[in-house]
Chain A
Amino acid sequence: MSSPLDEARPTSLDELFSRDPHELTDAELDDIVEELRRAREKWTVLDSEPQARGRPKKPKTTLEDLDLSHLLEEKME
């Protein structure tokens, strides 16, 4: 049976980082390592995805794409 205190055990990195490291237990240090290891796993997945290396650039609009003919027609009138 797991201890109800397990749920209350503080594991957030902010809280652990704010404490005097001389008082951190081995288990708490392992928690820090594990949380950062998980963060790395998430980042590794994101980093390996194609869009992570640079989204495809939107094509530039060129002059040929612009239809200014209506302006020329008005001018000629």
Chain B
Amino acid sequence: MNAPLGHGRLSFSTKNPNLQLAWDSTSLGAFKTCPRYYYYSIVLGKVSHPQNVHLIFGQCFHAACEEYDRVVFQGGTHKVALRSAVRRALVDTWDTALARPWNSDDKHKNRYTLIRTIVWYYCQFEDDPIQTARISTGQPAVELSWRLAYFPKEDNTPFKMRCTDETVTFCGHLDRIGVFNDKLWIIDRKTTKSTIGADYFAKYSPDNQFSAYTYAGRAVFGMDIEGIIVDAAQVAVDFTRFQRGMTYRTASQLEEWRSDTEYWLYLAEHCAITEYWPMNDKSCGMYGGCPYRLVCGKPPEERETWLRVQYKDRLWDPLRVRSEI
């Protein structure tokens, strides 16, 4: 199949439409998981038809938290901020065209548990010791879309794709940068259906997303980021439980992530040049099962048809800020 052209393809080269130039942790993580998964989800922009409740729930939760953080930063009280956050979530999960609420059919992640999660989160952290940092413009450091001018090599010169001599950039989106114990931290919120056990936070080191965030926090915002504080929410049918954990990155770990990313980018380039993205058939069962297992399980000559019928178009564009998604 050929990569689609047109709107949303600004992240790709005009010289080779399969060659991604603007990357983020989602697209890099997709490639690391399985090149074929990356090809279907990012290059072709195909997603499965059933709505991804985790994505919707997560985005709405993040948006509500941004609303709360902004109101408090601007001097609003906890009560006013929480009311504003709840209103935001209710509006975001309201289908104006059909005049009805979002119905997820998921007993864990639905509109009610979303609002409950927001209220319970801010009940637990009403007196949060973490204060939102201020960026150089004076604005609160919340929902920050960022982009590196270029992805650097070890000598800090721009990394370029060898086949087209084009610069690569790295983009992303931070929930919040906060001050805790006089140090700067990236604050990230995660929602899960699973119990948050003792080893939950251990999985975030190493972690592609958090390494990228820490790298960006220092490179883009010029902030000396201590690490990442993760607020994890277990969203169950009858309750939401929260745990807060921390993960750190040293300068040497970040350099290792940068160096490894160069390797992965060259691999992605090779795939784009050869127009072949191999399957990593050890990843098919991970994360609840790959959404493209249906396709990959078919003979190669049938896959294009299955992709056309069973999946819809959704281009993932790292250059789009979150408010546009």
Known contacts A33-B83, A33-B86, A47-B239: A39-B99 contact under CB 8 Å:
no
Q: Is B218 an interface residue (CB 8 A)?
A: no
Question: In whole angstroms, how far apart are the Cα atoms of A24 and B116 in the complex?
Answer: 17
Inside 8 A of A24's CB, which chain B residues have their CB?
Answer: 87, 90
Inside 8 A of A26's CB, which chain B residues have their CB?
Answer: 83
Binary A-proximity of B233-271 (CB < 8 A = 1, otherwise 0): 000001101000000000000000000000000000000
Inside 8 A of B94's CB, which chain A residues have their CB?
Answer: 20-22
| A window 27-59: CB within 8 A of B | 29-30, 32-33, 36-37, 39-40, 43, 47
Q: How far is the CB of A13 from chain B (nearest CB, A)?
A: 7
Inside 8 A of A33's CB, which chain B residues have their CB?
Answer: 79, 82-83, 86, 119
Q: Is A18 an interface residue (CB 8 A)?
A: yes
Q: Is B111 an interface residue (CB 8 A)?
A: yes
The secondary structure that dominates the B interface is helix
Inside 8 A of A32's CB, which chain B residues have their CB?
Answer: 86, 115, 119
Q: Which residue of A lies closest to B90 (CB)?
A: A21
Binary A-proximity of B90-121 (CB < 8 A = 1, otherwise 0): 11001000010100000000011001100110
Known contacts A30-B83, A32-B86, A40-B123: A20-B115 contact under CB 8 Å:
no
Inside 8 A of A21's CB, which chain B residues have their CB?
Answer: 87, 90-91, 94
Q: Is the CB of B86 within 8 A of A13?
A: no
Q: How far is the CB of B148 from chain A (nearest CB, A)?
A: 38
Inside 8 A of A18's CB, which chain B residues have their CB?
Answer: 101
Q: Is the CB of A36 within 8 A of B87?
A: no
Known contacts A20-B94, A36-B119: A13-B112 contact under CB 8 Å:
yes
Inside 8 A of A17's CB, which chain B residues have their CB?
Answer: 90, 101, 111-112, 115
Q: Is the CB of B120 within 8 A of A20?
A: no
Q: How far is the CB of B196 from chain A (nearest CB, A)?
A: 14
Question: In whole angstroms, how far apart are the Cα atoms of A30 and B80 in the complex?
Answer: 9
Q: How far is the CB of B261 from chain A (nearest CB, A)?
A: 42
Q: Is the CB of B87 within 8 A of A29?
A: yes
Q: Which residue of A lies closest to B238 (CB)?
A: A43
Q: Which residue of A lies closest to B92 (CB)?
A: A21
- Of residues A18, A36, A40, which shows the largest number of chain B Cβ atoms within 10 Å of its Cβ? A36
Given contacts A22-B94, A29-B87, 14 further A-B contacts (CB under 8 A): A17-B90, A17-B115, A20-B94, A21-B90, A24-B90, A32-B86, A32-B115, A32-B119, A33-B79, A33-B83, A36-B119, A37-B119, A43-B238, A47-B239
Which B residues are within 8 Å of any A CB, using their own CB?
Answer: 79, 82-83, 86-87, 90-91, 94, 99, 101, 111-112, 115-116, 119-120, 123, 238-239, 241
